[in-house]
Amino acid sequence: MKPLTIGFIGFGEAAFNIAKGLSNEGLRDISAYDKFWNIEPQSALIHQRAEEAGVFLAKDIPDLCERSQVIFSAVSANLALSLAESACPHLGERHVYVDLNATSPMTKEEIDRILPPAVPFVDCAVMGPVPTYGHKVPVTVSGRGAGVFKDMMAPYGMNITLMDSPASATSWKPRPVSAKLKR
């Protein structure tokens, strides 16, 4: 069996802490792509984090996708959809796409729609502070790839609660309120 390979789109605080924890659990093939990997002053911190976590810095999204089986998107919410679109041409049936971003339910659903049909999508809601818990932060997952993702990550100590529901179920959605209230 081929060893699991992980990639992060975005290598900020959450991705760094999760990657560091997974590396400490024995996962050795972790990559990351961050658009600031070669732009100062952010570059210095990204390189320092990558070295500390044992993470290879990919030069671009195609390179990251080539190196990775499970791809975590860990970027600012406003970038989640456009970066998923950038990744789409480089994703295939060997990939699982995990969205860690604090985006709206509609954005999660849109990302699920645009991914190639063979790519399982995981809507991953982080339920605590990542710097405190690292890769063991409680997460709740839903979507087509949630079960596969939980099984893949179980050997590495992630704290995953599986919801048997479509993507966006882990995100808050306003519920319709009845116009007539009973007294």
Q: Where are the domains of the chain?
A: 6-162
Q: How far is CA 179 from CA 4, 172, 176, 182, in A?
A: 51, 21, 9, 10
User: Cα angle at 107 between 102 and 113, to 5 degrees?
Assistant: 130
Domain 6-162 homologous superfamily, CATH:
NAD(P)-binding Rossmann-like Domain (3.40.50.720)
Each of the 183 residues of the chain gets a pLDDT tens digit; together they read: 678 999 999 999 999 999 999 999 999 999 999 998 888 899 999 999 999 999 999 999 999 999 999 999 999 999 999 999 999 999 999 999 999 998 998 999 999 999 999 999 999 999 999 999 999 999 999 999 999 999 999 999 999 999 877 676 654 444 344 444 443
96-99: strand order across its sheet: 56-57, 30-33, 6-9, 70-73, 96-99, 121-126, 139-142, 160-162
Strands 96-99 and 70-73: parallel
Q: Is residue 56 within 8 Å of 7, Cβ to Cβ?
A: no
